[in-house]
Structure 1
Amino acid sequence: MPPIKTILLVAGIPALICGAVALFFTLGAPTWLVWPLVVSLVAAAIAPLLYFRARNWLLYALVSTGAGCFAKGGLGLALRTSGEFNSDSEPQNLIRVAWDLAYGGSNLIDASLIVAGILLFGMALILQISREIGRPTSDRNDPHETKPTDSLATWFDDNVHSANLSESLPRALRFAKQIGDEELSRWIRLELYGYNEQGGMKESDTVPEYRAVPGRWMDKYDAMLDVSSYPDLAILNEYRFRSSIAELEELGSRTEMQNISDVYMTNLFREHMGIEVFRFCFNPIGVRGTLDVIRNLLAEKLHTIQTPDTI
């Protein structure tokens, strides 16, 4: 809730309850209604203290003092108007002391206190309005309200290096959209959904080098493609995974050697090199290395864009 509305709401509670007390007494309300109304009045006077505690000390002082003025002035006028107060009929205890304090003084003093309460509430409202006008529009939310980006940034600080990417990337995508970073959003989508149409891959895009996992191409007789004599072809001893992050995490969790078949790549070998290969064999440790690189890149990108306003 915006601060101005909050001040109006909190400041209005004591005024309304004080008015209700005076009205009940003026209409000859029964005595058993007195203390419930007094308790309500005290609670209303405490409300500003609870809300403005440690937020703005000047507003805190103005609103709480105004509530106290309303409480004393309104209740004092109500008690005298009712004519039900009898100084000899009540026991001498703490409740009696509070009753005497409320009844003490004169109608002029209590009316002055009510006016003082109105002035204090008005000063608080003017102060807050002037602060709002002097602040940029983008900053006029309550600085103590938690922004969505605040909680996300805090989560990244605590978990980005330890959480699974399948958990942190969706949060990062939401964060990037909230701050309007299109470049980061696009990179996250590609990593999250894979380097394919679903991830938003374009014809000009290439699968990044850090997604390359070392291994060997094998033919259907389990013979390994050996290009050790051709240094320029060493790139053939790796495979760049286009898979989604969930698929990479599943592969990385395995412990035994893995094999994949890629029809597109096997056709390239056949057409351009006259070689028949059947599968690519690799160690899952390489996939875990790729996941670590992606995780570190994510942390670096988030650290770069997190300004003091979003942390």
Structure 2
Amino acid sequence: MRSTSSASGTPEDDGPRLTIRAAAAAARLGVAVPTLRSWERRYGIGPEPRAPGAHRRYSAADMARLEYFCRLVGEGSATADAARAALARTELTRREAAAPGDAEPVETDPSPSPGRARGVARCAMRLDQSGTLEILEQTLSRDGVIAAWETTIEPALLAVGRKWTESQGHYVEVEHLLSWCVTVALHRVRAATPPKPAARRVLLACSPDEWHSLPLEVLAAALRERGVAVSMLGAAVPAEALNDAVGRIDPACVVVWSQTQSTAEPARLPVPGEGSHCRVRAAGPGWLSARPPLAGVLLSPADALDACLCGADNA
């Protein structure tokens, strides 16, 4: 990593710690700079505070925290839980440095959020479709799509997935019921005001052979919630079909989701035609392992929502 130093050759940060700007930090993580700012705003996982008026710079400790966060998300942890775990890990390191051997243990396991997430998982375990839908719809209405996803729906899905793993393949029916209920509840989300008739759409699709479409369902519902027109193509969209769709409707933005490394192929991303102002964004943890590497990956539905809203505003 290239360090940033003053003209005298000494680091611009306090003490011997070397720092980098946001653009370099984003490039190292493989995400967009707005995504870094979104993580700081949503989860408090930005750089440690500097002197008033100083540029935002990322130290080695800041980067270690963000890399740990990205690793947890890539392994399947809920985004909000991964952020809490990364921050707790930093606090533990700080305590150990201040008082070696005397630091109190800090919980760093990104476990599911309590409360409604547990209620959703329990309803699903009983195959209680109506009860599961009721909790999901209440949560979406109360918290909004992104907050409901991060604090309730995603943790519940991860809890059910762990149950399936621990039981050596049992409870597949529970995961299917919960996924179906989540999709139905998301489809029922509507905006207070409809999209403007002349507004360009946001086009959503999973990469070829990628069947994890639920994060895109979350993104579609969050966009509808904000009055943005959406066209959803769903899972495992062939590259040729996605290119044809981009050419037909010339969307303001197209988001291609990849959950796993095996479905992240940069060469199969759509290429807008000459004169198009469509922005193509790679979203999902699969793209972090893409070869060749991609810059500006949107790691979560929340990150993708911010990028889509920016694209819609500029359309």
For the aligned pair, the TM-score class normalised by the smaller chain equals under 0.3
User: TM-score, normalised on structure 1?
Assistant: 0.22
Bigger helix fraction: 1
TM-score (norm 2): 0.22
**Who wins on radius of gyration, i.e. which is larger?**
1
